[in-house]
Amino acid sequence: MFDFIPPAAWPGLAFVLAYLVGSLSFAVIVSRLMGLHDPRTYGSKNPGATNVLRSGNKIAAVTTLVLDAVKGWLPVLLVRVYGERVGLGDGTVALVALGAFLGHLFPVFFAFKGGKGVATAAGAVFGVDALLGLVLAVAWALVASISRYSSLASLVTAVLAPVAYLMGSGSGWYADGRVALVLGVLALLLLWRHQGNVQRLIAGTEPRLGQSKR
């Protein structure tokens, strides 16, 4: 069906498509569809599920969270399941994970002003391997329950992701160096996007789970 596309072009095409999917800022889209204010105009001004929750609409926030995760999960899963038919391997899995994540951070459809990317990164990890995603979800829950800081749990889990991926090689999944590298890049980008949270954590002013952000 797609024989007219040269095999060498498939990885780049997959990356671009994943970026375009990632560029769908569901915080903005869901808010518009549900008649809510643009999340870029209140609270932290971050187009993400946490800020949508500040609108008071929990359904909108949960919908945003799920869709942001799905747009990271789906491109990766499609390459893993169908990529071999067109010669796409683990290198392209890494590419589409990065593409979807960069799309969320710098969405072409929304003036390149995106969110922090936690949900999309989590979705991409589940796309790489569901067991890996489950392991990291448990790690997030443990850190969050002990510290009561959602941001700290997200950052610790992000840093842990490439380490857990490599440590699981041969037991839960096959580890590819390119995927591990991209997971490391995602962790660095998440740390960069959470600079404000890191500063508040150091200063002791970061809101804990259940506290409102002033």
Q: Would residue 214 count as lying in a domain?
A: no
Q: Would residue 188 count as lying in a domain?
A: yes
How many domains does one find in the chain? 1
Res 214 pLDDT > 60: no
Q: Would residue 128 count as lying in a domain?
A: yes
Confidence of residue 176 (pLDDT cuts 50, 70, 90): confident
Residue 142: give the domain boundaries: 7-203
pLDDT tens, position by position, 3-40: 666 767 878 899 999 999 999 999 999 999 999 999 99
Give the pTM.
0.91
Identify which has the larger pLDDT, 60 or 173: 60
Across 176-188, average pLDDT? 93
Q: Would residue 68 count as lying in a domain?
A: yes
Q: Would residue 163 count as lying in a domain?
A: yes
Across 188-211, average pLDDT? 89
Confidence of residue 145 (pLDDT cuts 50, 70, 90): very high
pLDDT tens, position by position, 89-138: 889 999 999 999 999 999 999 999 999 999 999 999 999 999 999 999 99
Q: Would residue 132 count as lying in a domain?
A: yes
Q: Residue type at 39?
A: P
Q: Would residue 42 count as lying in a domain?
A: yes
